[in-house]
Structure 1
Amino acid sequence: MRIGELARRAGVSTRALRYYEQQGLITAGRKANGYREYGEADLKLVTEIRSLLGVGFTLEDARPFVACLRAGHASGGSCPESVAVYRRKLAEIDDEIRTLLARRAEVAGQLTESCHGCVLRKQR
Structure 2
Amino acid sequence: MAEASRERIERPLRVGDLAALTSTTPRMLRHYENEGLIEAERSSTGQRLFGSSAIEQVRSIRRLLGAGLPVDAIRELLDCINGADRIEPCAVPVLVEHLHAYDGRIAELTTTREALQGLIDSSSR
- Measured against the shorter chain, the TM-score band is 0.7 to 0.9
**Which residue in the other structure is 1:28 paired with?**
40
Question: Structure 1 residue aligned with 2:62, among 50, 54, 70?
Answer: 50
Tell me the residue number matched to 1:120: none
The count of aligned residue pairs is 112
Gaps of 5+ in 2: 1-12
The DSSP-based 3-state class of the residue aligned with 1:37 is: strand
Q: 54-63 or 32-41: which moved more?
A: 32-41
Residue in structure 1 matching 2:95, options 79, 86, 89: 86
Extract unaligned runs of 5+ from structure 1: 117-124
**AA partner of residue 29 (structure 2):** L
Instruction: Map Cα deviations across residues 61-111 of structure 1 (whole Å, 9 max, x no partner).
Output: 111332223xxx45552142x211210111011101111111111112111
SS of the equivalent of 2:24 reads coil
Q: Within the alignment, does 1:7 sit opposite 2:30 as a pair?
A: no
C-alpha contact 1:10 1:47 (8 A) present in aligned 2: yes
Q: Identify which of 73, 87, 93 aligns with 1:77.
A: 87
For the aligned residues, what is the CA RMSD? 1.7
**Could you tell me how far apart the structure 2 residues matched to 1:31 and 1:79 are?**
36
4+ long deviations beyond 4 Å: none
How many percent of aligned residue pairs carry the same amino acid? 31
Secondary structure of the 1:85 match is helix
2:49 pairs with 1:40 = no
TM-score w.r.t. structure 2 length? Answer: 0.79
Deviation at 1:42, TM superposition (A): 0.7
**Conserved? CA contact 1:66–1:76, under 8 Å:** no
Which one of 97, 110, 122 corresponds to residue 101 of structure 1?
110
Q: Which has the higher contact order (CA 8 A, sep 6+)?
A: 2
Counterpart amino acid of 1:102? T
